[in-house]
């Protein structure tokens, strides 16, 4: 738990520093000050409201205890000795799921209608146990914060347009326009690298803990193989429009075309499946 709090603090500090460097490069001292203020405000917003923002982004609909899905999650939450999270469903054909919330007392788990159609109940239990493991490990705070702030960094081009590269006290440009353009492209890549550093090891740990919660590692392994097969055939438009949220999902929801395939926030599904099957044996 302490490790994740430390990672969250490092992430927030890193984001503030990145904003400051980009602000200084594009707008000089004034740009750096404004960028630091924006970064601080983003951190506050991300801590308190990022989970609600992501759920709204995906048009997630809350379900109650009348739903069999809700009852499945409740049983697993009891197994994990967790407070009952809110339960949401997203009306999307792509099979996927994620958890969000700043702590176990303010958590939510979400699954698409597509995942409910292709998985057996046993496999769905494995997936939701994985998501509850993220809640138990407090991964949800760092994943929603990184998704929210990475989205802000990805739009940093508009910040550069605002300052037009900045000028020093002699009226000269702080940086060459080409350097400004490079910064606008490289800042989002830096954000993706930060997410990668945090996300990959976290998935292995959630697989292991999720298998313990459900008591069925083979079911999660089977589910991962099925989701992997379908996910790259069926687009998830919201994820394509907001790729910074991809690292929250149990399987990478993106098509994998272009540069994003080089910066996957998920480990190889084959390795995840092999580890789970080893646990089952």
Quote the pTM value: 0.80
Q: Which residue has the tokens 């740990």?
A: 205
131 tagged catalytic? yes
Task: Note the pLDDT of residue 152.
Answer: 65
From the list 92, 131, 203, 244, the catalytic residue is 131
Residue ranges in the chain whose pLDDT is less than 50: 165-166, 258-262
Task: Note the pLDDT of residue 20.
Answer: 76
Of 273, 267, 270, the C-alpha closest to 252 is 267
- Provide the H-helix boundaries in the chain: 2-57, 68-79, 113-118, 121-136, 139-154, 157-163, 177-214, 217-231, 237-241, 269-280
Q: In Å, how far are 4, 6, 108, 199, 259 from 11, measured between CA atoms?
A: 10, 9, 22, 12, 23
Task: Note the pLDDT of residue 23.
Answer: 72
Contact 264, 194 (CB under 8 A): no
Task: Note the pLDDT of residue 124.
Answer: 98
Task: Note the pLDDT of residue 19.
Answer: 73
Mean pLDDT of the chain: 81
Task: Note the pLDDT of residue 114.
Answer: 97
SS3 105: helix
Q: List pLDDT tens digits, range 188-239.
A: 666 666 656 666 678 899 999 999 999 999 999 999 999 999 988 899 999 9
Of 191, 160, 159, the C-alpha closest to 177 is 160
Beta bridge partners of 110: 88, 98
Task: Note the pLDDT of residue 179.
Answer: 59
On the 0-12 / 13-18 / 19+ scale of CB atoms within 10 A, 198 is buried
- Which residues span the domain enclosing 86? 2-280
What's the domain count of the chain?
1
Q: In Å, how far are 150, 199, 258, 265 from 262, measured between CA atoms?
A: 17, 15, 8, 9
């Amino acid at each position: 738990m302490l490790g994740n709090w430390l990672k969250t603090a490092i992430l927030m500090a890193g984001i503030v520093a990145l904003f400051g460097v980009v602000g200084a490069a594009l707008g000089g001292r004034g740009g750096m000050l404004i960028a630091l203020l924006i970064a601080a405000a983003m951190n506050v917003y991300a801590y308190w409201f990022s989970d609600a923002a992501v759920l709204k982004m995906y048009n997630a609909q809350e379900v109650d205890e009348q739903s069999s899905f809700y009852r499945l999650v409740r049983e697993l939450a009891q197994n994990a000795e967790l407070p009952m999270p809110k339960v949401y469903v997203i009306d999307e054909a792509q099979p996927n799921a994620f958890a969000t919330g700043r702590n176990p007392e303010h958590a939510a788990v979400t699954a698409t209608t597509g995942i409910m159609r292709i998985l057996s109940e046993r496999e769905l239990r494995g997936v939701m146990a994985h998501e509850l493991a993220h809640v138990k490990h407090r991964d949800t705070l760092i994943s929603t914060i990184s998704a929210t702030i990475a989205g802000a960094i990805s739009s940093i081009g508009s910040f550069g347009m605002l300052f037009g590269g900045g000028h020093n006290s002699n009226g000269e440009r702080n940086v060459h326009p080409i350097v400004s353009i490079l910064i606008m492209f490289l800042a989002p890549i830096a954000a993706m690298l930060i997410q990668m550093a945090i996300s990959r090891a976290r998935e292995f740990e959630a697989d292991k803990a999720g298998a313990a919660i459900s008591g069925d590692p083979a079911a999660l392994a089977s589910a991962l193989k099925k989701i992997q097969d379908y996910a790259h055939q069926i687009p998830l438009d919201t994820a394509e429009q907001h790729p910074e949220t991809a690292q929250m999902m149990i399987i990478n929801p993106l098509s994998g075309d272009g540069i994003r395939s080089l910066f996957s926030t998920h480990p190889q599904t084959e390795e995840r499946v092999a580890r789970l099957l080893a646990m089952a044996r």
